[in-house]
Amino acid sequence: MYGAGHSERVLAQALKGQRGRVVIATKFGFRFDEAKKVAEGSDVSPAYIHQACEASLRRLNTDYIDLYQLHCGASPAEAEAITDTLEQLQAEGRIRAYAWSTDDPESARLFAGKPHCAAVQHEMNVFVDAGAMLALCDEYNLASVVRTPLAMGCLSGKYDTETTFAADDFRGSGHEWARYFKDGRLRREYVEKLDAVREVLRSNGRTLVQGALAWVWARSGRTIPIPGFKTVAQVEENCGAMRFGPLTPEQMQEIDLLLGRTAQADGDRLCEGDDPGRRRGHAAPPNDPGTPEADAPGGGPPGD
């Protein structure tokens, strides 16, 4: 749905003749004007979910979606109606499975026990742990689809506190969810944290990006990081991380020690000064940091 459907059209072109070799995940929950490329508010009514699914199938030029993800908040009553609708779409063969893109484990739990809920998409990276969400994934045998595994490009090492971003760049926009930036600059605390763990992430010949992905894989066997990219070189670097695999348990422990991270009762591991409630109780925003461009080392406007 990113780019008001443009990304789905691009995928359709790129995957022509390759449908059986790929897994396609997309989202629903926001109305948007394709011509003007603007969001027009959320809508989780059964009628709109059916309409949105058909529109995505048409743009993707496919007859099924592998993972269909709710992209906005919903009340418990709404969640029940949403999952009923998604189960119907699954029974009709329009989708294979579904998920909720949310950073709130209690919201995710409303979907988790349903027959064809297969995953949760949530924020997690070297800087921001998500132990409570990983515990829920273990409890319900769900995949953990990890957005912002590169912390909106911060873990690439390309930015410092002198780097500035314009107001029309999401990193300079002041949005609460762009937690790594303030007043158009990278927060010093994240520069310092990266400096602390830099050598561990670069172990065995990895780049910083590859080390950040290795951390995600080591955090849980359920994780599927979705790093951003804007260039062929970034795709190659991301894919190259698979040659190295996850960090070792010893390296993970060293990172926790270097960051002063301690385990919490809910499973999260927090650094000193972190707010344990900061990412509770909300779904991903309409232009969320889970987009490829938002997490790409080169940055760019939200919307994949």
Q: Residue 206 falls within a domain, yes or no?
A: yes
Structure tokens at 62: 């496919």
Give the pLDDT of residue 128: 94
Span 82-124, pLDDT tens digits: 999 999 999 999 999 999 999 999 999 999 999 999 999 999 9
The percentage of residues in the chain with a pLDDT greater than 90, rounded to a whole number, is: 62
Where residue 160 falls among pLDDT bands split at 50, 70, 90? Answer: confident
Give the pLDDT of residue 275: 54
Q: Residue 108 falls within a domain, yes or no?
A: no
Neighbours of 167 (CB within 10 A): 10
Where residue 290 falls among pLDDT bands split at 50, 70, 90? Answer: very low
Q: Evaluate whether 97 touches 64 at the Cβ level (below 8 Å).
A: no
Q: Residue 23 falls within a domain, yes or no?
A: no
* Residue 20: burial class (beta carbons within 10 Å; 0-12, 13-18, 19+): exposed
Report, as an integer, the average pLDDT of 169-194: 82
Give the pLDDT of residue 166: 77
Q: Where is average pLDDT lowest: 126-140, 160-174, 212-226, 269-283?
A: 269-283
Mean residue pLDDT of the chain comes to: 85
Structure tokens at 225: 């990081």
Q: Residue 3 falls within a domain, yes or no?
A: no
Give the pLDDT of residue 31: 73
Where residue 179 falls among pLDDT bands split at 50, 70, 90? Answer: confident
The percentage of residues in the chain with a pLDDT greater than 70, rounded to a whole number, is: 81
Q: Residue 26 falls within a domain, yes or no?
A: no
Q: Residue 87 falls within a domain, yes or no?
A: no
Q: Evaluate whether 3 touches 304 at the Cβ level (below 8 Å).
A: yes
Q: Domains in the chain: how many in total?
A: 1
Span 34-84, pLDDT tens digits: 666 666 678 889 999 999 999 999 999 999 999 999 998 888 999 999 999
**What's the pTM?**
0.85
Neighbours of 71 (CB within 10 A): 24
Q: Which domain holds residue 176?
A: 148-304
Comparing CA positions, the residue from 258, 131, 119 lying closest to residue 196 is: 258
57 or 1: whose pLDDT is higher?
57
Given a cut of 90, is residue 221 above it in pLDDT? yes
Q: Residue 290 falls within a domain, yes or no?
A: yes
Report, as an integer, the average pLDDT of 227-246: 95
39 or 135: whose pLDDT is higher?
135
Give the pLDDT of residue 271: 57
Q: Residue 97 falls within a domain, yes or no?
A: no
Give the pLDDT of residue 270: 55
